[in-house]
């Protein structure tokens, strides 16, 4: 197993990644000769600093490919996975470009967690790349049950894209509608509507999503559930990017917020490596 330094919170790194004085990335895979003709699991995060981390992955994959290895890239969070549709003419289909580049560089397969554009657990081919999306939904739910001391818990997803995370547990989904892009340098589509009329009065509720980015979705969902008179409101997601101070805002608005360590954060309470081990992926 090859481990990048950006996963040192989970495993001991055995790949070197450094920077040249001008900021360009340097990578080296010690003992690469032994990998010729063999499958190799490469654990490397593609976030934070997605553009830089992606380029490092391309360098490692290409180096492995040239040495005759057959690498499976294991990246817990797949950046650019939300740009999977063309909204305005002339936009880049970033999710597909990324997968195609990973394949071209030498990835035989990609394993990731709750891949946004797949909207389900399982295998698929996208941009010519074989992808396996492993869901963290069950372990997040188990963790939530522990937090409410085994009391009953309703599970709700804040939009249809995350419905697969809750459906197996009798959960329902809210309806989210995004509007046009906001003006300015930053590209973001405002949430126009987020609704769901559920009977949550006096009940514990877990709102479960694939990711919390700016927190806009989760904050609206919490507001909605609280207005319905819920007892405890818990928020969880596989990936916690927590941009724009959203972790503090969420902590202040609900009873508990937690995510996995796909992206390290102060509330990465659920580990992803045991899930990959249980599935025989690592």
Q: Which residues contact ligand R5P by CB under 6 A?
A: 82, 158-159, 161-162, 209-218
Q: Give whichever of 111 and 221 is closer to ligand R5P, judged by the CB atom.
A: 221
Q: Which is nearer to ligand R5P, 36 or 182 (CB)?
A: 182
Q: How far is the CB of 239 from ligand R5P (least distance, A)?
A: 9
Rounded CA-CA distance 175/197 in Å is 10
Nearer to ligand R5P, 147 or 249 (CB): 249
Q: How far is the CB of 174 from ligand R5P (least distance, A)?
A: 10
3-state SS of 89-154 is CCCCCHHHHHHHHHHHHCCCEEEEECCCCCCCCEEEEECCEEEEEECCHHHHHHHHHHHCCCCCCE
Q: How far apart are CA 4 and CA 142, in angstroms?
A: 29
**Can you tell me the distance from the alpha carbon of 269 to that of 16, in angstroms, rounded to the nearest whole number?**
28
Q: Please say which residue, 216 or 228, places its beta carbon nearer to ligand R5P.
A: 216
Q: Which residue, 110 or 218, has its beta carbon nearer to ligand R5P?
A: 218
Residue 127 CB, nearest distance to ligand R5P (Å)? Answer: 19
Both tokens of residue 18?
């450094």
Q: How far is the CB of 155 from ligand R5P (least distance, A)?
A: 15
User: d(Cα 69, Cα 48) in Å, to the nearest integer?
Assistant: 27
Minimum distance of ligand R5P from residue 221's CB (angstroms):
9
């Amino acid at each position: 197993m090859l481990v990048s330094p950006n996963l040192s919170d989970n495993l001991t790194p055995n790949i070197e990644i450094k920077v040249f004085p001008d900021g360009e990335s340097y990578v080296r895979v010690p003992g690469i000769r032994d990998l010729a003709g063999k499958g190799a699991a490469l654990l490397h995060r593609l976030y934070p600093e997605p553009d830089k981390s992606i380029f490092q992955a391309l360098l490692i994959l290409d180096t492995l490919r040239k040495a005759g290895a057959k690498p499976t890239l294991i990246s817990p969070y797949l950046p650019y996975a939300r740009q999977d549709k063309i909204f305005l003419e002339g936009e880049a289909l970033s999710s597909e470009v990324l997968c195609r580049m990973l394949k071209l560089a030498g990835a035989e397969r990609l394993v990731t967690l709750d891949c946004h554009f797949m909207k389900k657990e399982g295998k698929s081919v996208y941009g010519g790349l074989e992808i396996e999306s492993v869901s963290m939904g069950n372990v997040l739910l188990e963790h939530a049950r522990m937090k409410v001391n085994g009391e009953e818990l309703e599970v709700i997803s804040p939009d249809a894209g995350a419905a697969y995370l809750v459906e197996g547990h009798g959960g329902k989904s809210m309806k989210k509608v995004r509007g046009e892009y906001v003006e300015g340098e930053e590209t973001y589509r405002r949430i126009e509507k987020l609704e769901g009329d559920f009977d949550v009065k006096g009940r514990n509720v877990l709102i479960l999503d694939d990711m919390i980015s700016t927190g806009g979705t989760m904050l609206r969902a919490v507001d909605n559930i609280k207005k319905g008179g819920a007892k405890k409101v818990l928020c969880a997601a596989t990936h916690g990017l927590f941009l724009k101070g959203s972790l503090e805002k969420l902590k202040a608005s609900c009873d508990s917020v937690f995510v996995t360590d796909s992206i390290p954060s102060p509330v990465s309470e659920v580990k992803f490596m045991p899930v990959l081990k249980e599935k025989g992926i690592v």
